[in-house]
Amino acid sequence: MKFAENSTQSAEYLRQAIPLMVKYNIPPNPLNYALWYTYVSNKIPNLNYKIDQTLDTYGTCPTLLGEQLFREHVISDEITESEEAQNQIIALTNTLNTQVDHAAKHTSDFGSVLEDSLRGLSETDNDDQEITSIINRLAANTASISESTTLFQKQIADAQAEIVSLKKELQKTKQDARVDPLTGLFNRRVFDSELEQIIGAPKHAEATLIMIDIDHFKKFNDEYGHLMGDKVLQYFGKLLKTECQKPTLPVRFGGEEFAILMVGKHKNDGAELAENLRQKIQAIRIKQKKSGKVISSITASFGISQRLPEETAEQMVDRADKALYHAKASGRNQVKIAS
């Protein structure tokens, strides 16, 4: 979608969007500004319908659902997330640098003219020392301005390089704070934040949590080494990414434990997904690289809880954990649902 409103209309849309974002506890970030700007403009009826449905169900718009709606209805072919906004500051310094280049050229040209004029005066019989003195001072000032401009150019170039470097560092820091580096999945911090939003939704809003634990993983690590164990975790991450489509959120909970948050899904949906994952995991065969010999198979146990009215995030996790413990106590490689 492209925004073609004039500044007055744009300001009015933003004025309407911000109170709604505050009312529904929407995080103030560029993506949400664009989403709610589009909502109040009422230019995409299907988007408004889906947002209204989400608000009726959850009393807010959970982050993952908001991202999904943004990608489906708002984002254009030319813009990827908020890269354009992030690049504006670099474009600004590029423009400033160009302007300084022009100023430097004009200063240099002016200096050349004065030097030529001074040379012409010195070659004549003009004895007007006052005029010569004035021109000498102008030439000296021009040289000083030229030096200052050159220094300023260098400072702008240094600042520009620093901005690019800081932008890269900021992006990496944000990514590191949210993503587990080994598996590429979101981490516990993201899980906690998303679960709190789910718990804060109206009582009738459905949500399901799946807790997953790799069976006998410590024994596997002790027998085959941590490098092989890391490969198993990486495969787990890849499998969960493939099987869990947004807004379903897979995360690395910690160690060999993973979790999946399913917004708007019943526990039966969770059981279906868990069983699908269980079968694919047990089909994994770990082979020695040199000999090709199968050295071990991998299985996992699953515990599922569906959100209950009035329960806290901790209680929902605890019920899923107890179901997971039940799966392990029953022989592992099983899916159990909390009562």
pLDDT digits (tens, 9 = 90+) for 245-300: 888 999 999 999 999 999 989 999 999 999 999 999 999 887 767 777 777 789 99
For residues 178 and 70, give the distance between their C-alpha atoms in angstroms, rounded to a whole number.
20
Task: Supply the pLDDT for residue 77.
Answer: 36
Residue 174 has pLDDT above 90, yes or no: no
Phi-psi region of 47 (alpha: psi -120 to 50; beta: other; left: phi over 0): alpha
Task: Supply the pLDDT for residue 316.
Answer: 96
* pLDDT (tens digit per residue) in 114-170: 666 666 656 555 556 666 666 676 666 666 666 656 665 665 566 566 666 656 666
* Residue corresponding to tokens 């009015």: 12
For 271, other C-beta atoms within 10 Å of its C-beta total 18
CATH of 188-337, one of 3.20.20.120, 3.30.70.270, 1.10.1740.10, 3.40.50.720: 3.30.70.270
User: 207-214 and 300-306: which strand pairing?
Assistant: antiparallel
For residues 232 and 104, give the distance between their C-alpha atoms in angstroms, rounded to a whole number.
60
Task: Supply the pLDDT for residue 81.
Answer: 42
Task: Supply the pLDDT for residue 223.
Answer: 86
How far is residue 109 from each of residues 5, 104, 134, measured CA to CA in Å?
Answer: 43, 9, 19
Q: How far apart are the first and last CA of the chain?
A: 46
Task: Supply the pLDDT for residue 51.
Answer: 94
Catalytic (active-site) positions: 256
Nearest to 236 by CA among 192, 180, 189: 180
CA dihedral 264→266→268→270, nearest 10 degrees, is 50
